[in-house]
């Protein structure tokens, strides 16, 4: 295990089981709908690629890069669009894929934006949810798991751009961000 990790919250196998369960629900709800799956970079990259491989019907994939954290552990409250979609969302059924919903700022911003762009429907699939931290009202339609208010990294999630490539999700040792 990486020296900066206090404990593993979700192993590779745990993540695989969660992803399978979510994909089953999505398969039921989106059969024949050709949704546009929107991966919110960078955190959702691992989750999105694993999830779509478990979706039976054909889906389209696009990427949006937004950032609200900078290198801090606390959200700045400001959402920046670093890369927009290539695809038009007008009339499309959108499935936004996130790694974690924390304050809800990122998703509340994106939902408003996609509504303005006249999406036909907007649903959210998140691997993790931290409802304790919510500032903006956001409710995900598909939630992998609720996590306690601890700093989680790995499987796409970073602290200061590190740890994204860990194959598991772990709790970061507080000493790492208190330095």
Active-site annotation, residues? 102
Q: Describe the crossing of helices 12-30 and 45-52 by its angle, rounded to 10 degrees.
A: 60
Please say which residue, 33 or 79, places its beta carbon nearer to ligand PRP.
79
CB of 56 to Mn ion, least distance (A): 27
Q: How far apart are CA 155 and CA 113, in angstroms?
A: 27
Q: Does 2 bind ligand PRP (CB under 6 A)?
A: no
Q: How far apart are CA 96 and CA 99, in angstroms?
A: 10
Q: Does 156 bind Mn ion (CB under 5 A)?
A: no
* 145 binds, options ligand PRP, Mn ion, Mg ion, none, Cβ within 5 to 8 A by partner type: none
Q: Does 99 bind ligand PRP (CB under 6 A)?
A: yes
Annotate each residue in 57-96 with x if it binds Mg ion (CB under 5 A) or - if it does not, as one string: ------------x---------------------------
Contact positions with ligand PRP (CB under 6 A) in 29-88: 40-43, 67-69, 75
């Amino acid at each position: 295990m990486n020296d900066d990790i206090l404990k593993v919250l979700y192993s590779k196998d745990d993540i695989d089981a969660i992803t399978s369960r979510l994909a089953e629900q999505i398969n039921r709800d989106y059969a024949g709908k050709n949704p546009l799956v929107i991966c919110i970079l960078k955190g959702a990259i691992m989750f999105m690629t694993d999830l779509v491989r478990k979706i039976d019907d054909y889906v389209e994939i696009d990427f949006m890069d937004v950032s609200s954290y900078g290198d801090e552990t606390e959200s700045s409250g400001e959402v920046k669009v670093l890369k927009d979609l290539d695809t038009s969302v007008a009339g499309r059924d959108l499935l936004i894929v996130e790694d974690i919903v924390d304050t809800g700022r990122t998703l509340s911003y994106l939902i408003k934006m996609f509504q303005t762009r006249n999406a036909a429907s907007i649903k959210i699939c998140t691997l993790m949810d931290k409802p304790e931290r919510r500032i903006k009202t956001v409710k995900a339609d598909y939630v992998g798991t609720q996590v306690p208010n601890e700093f989680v990294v790995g499987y796409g999630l970073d602290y200061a751009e590190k740890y994204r490539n860990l194959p598991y999700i772990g709790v970061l040792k507080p000493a790492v961000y208190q330095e």
